């Protein structure tokens, strides 16, 4: 999912940058288009890192829930 978003973001930034330079929309320059492309790459890496950290946190929380359930449902310690 993030790969698709990365490709779409970089493609859209490049497309609109080229179009704005081609039709001279405002005072855009080649430097600003390059800056927008670099920023779009950085945003994608930040999103990828954030999703990786969220997945790691979720996996740690799942292990805590499993330990909690094991403590509560230990069949060898049930009293009759």
Place of tokens 């950290």: 53
Place of tokens 């890496």: 45
**What pTM, to 2 d.p., does this model score?**
0.53
CA distance 55 to 25: 42
pLDDT of res. 1: 59
Contact 60, 52 (CB under 8 A): no
Q: What is the pLDDT of residues 28-64, one digit of tens each?
A: 667 777 777 777 778 777 888 888 899 999 998 998 8
CA distance 8 to 2: 10
Closest CA relative to residue 6, chosen from 36, 40, 34: 40
């Amino acid at each position: 999912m993030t790969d698709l978003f990365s490709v779409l973001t970089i493609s859209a930034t490049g497309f609109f940058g080229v179009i704005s330079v081609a039709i001279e929309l405002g005072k855009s320059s080649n430097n600003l288009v390059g800056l927008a492309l670099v920023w779009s790459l950085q945003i994608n890496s930040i999103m990828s890192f954030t999703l990786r950290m969220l997945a790691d946190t979720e996996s740690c929380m799942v292990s805590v829930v499993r330990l909690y359930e094991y403590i509560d449902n230990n069949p060898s310690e049930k009293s009759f």
